[in-house]
Structure 1
């Protein structure tokens, strides 16, 4: 699994005319699921999301994690994160999980996140989403399991 994480002052996901997920200060995580991913990888990724130190401490150093920063977590499925881009001029999606497998693992990740932390918000799996954010820093990392 891959997560492109961004420290944000605010972020939201809109489907059509409806805001389906929104956080203030916290982390926006775009999630890509590969065909060979499983629940153990999703659990490992969630641990990293909740504990990755990307928020400033009192000295301005990135020593605090999401929980210490008391931030929100916005999870958005994005299969294009697992695209093969190393050759040619068109992405290959052969490594991406089939939709039902991706949906199940993303749902598992969301359920575990809900049980471990609040607030958690999400986009809508498979939908055409509009993601709006204010990147704080900017701070962006690619996490992989």
Structure 2
């Protein structure tokens, strides 16, 4: 079950008929995010496997499987910032034990995004999802 914030995005996408409008909306979602401070743009937070520069910073609240997964992210590419915003809507606020149960590819498919991302962007999205899942799994221990 997707988060309410993600469902809001999905509802908006239902009203956007063509890919160009959806693409613009993804960019707007990215623009609405607060930028990540330079001090957090370090090798430890950088996501490998992305064509763009991508940073994800976990902010786990609590300990163990009951902890809440929170994160911030940023990218030097506007479309990727938008993808991070969508990932944030999908994962932020979940218990760490539930993060791995979310089928992000399926949820992105509901938005029609997986069919319209380049191979490089798809690989980058996969790398971001794997990083999020890994961070949550680590926090759940």
Which TM-score applies when normalising by structure 2?
Answer: 0.29
In terms of fraction of residues, the more strand-rich structure is 1
In terms of fraction of residues, the more helix-rich structure is 2
Structure scoring higher RCO (CA < 8 A, sep ≥ 6) equals: 1
Which TM-score applies when normalising by structure 1?
Answer: 0.28
